[in-house]
Amino acid sequence: MVSIPRNAFVGKTAGNELQDRLKSFLQPLLVQLPEKRLREVARMMVQGILAARSPVLTEAACKVSRSEETNWPTVKRMYRLLGTSVSAIARC
């Protein structure tokens, strides 16, 4: 039985390619955000909205939540980003 080494495919999966494309697409927006955590939440929010095919944040959070039990912490992070004032972002 011939086996293909697992290391031959590391870094070449479709998921990694999609992550890279999403990062490059969002780069102009992300450079405007003042903090690293806001940039991460914005990327996660867009990824969740695309995966859920819905702009409803609770559905989007279900697709990107780290824990299986609850998606509330992820939804809370998304709402905090939306609650960040435009003037706070523009100052930086």
The Cα-based distances of 87 to 26, 40, 47, 76, 90 in angstroms read: 20, 20, 25, 21, 5
Q: What is the tens place of the pLDDT at every residue in 28-71? A: 989 988 889 989 999 999 999 998 998 888 888 888 887 767 88
**Taking the domains of the chain in order of start, what are their residue ranges?**
35-92
User: Residue 5: its pLDDT value, please?
Assistant: 56
The Cα 32–Cα 51 span in angstroms is 24
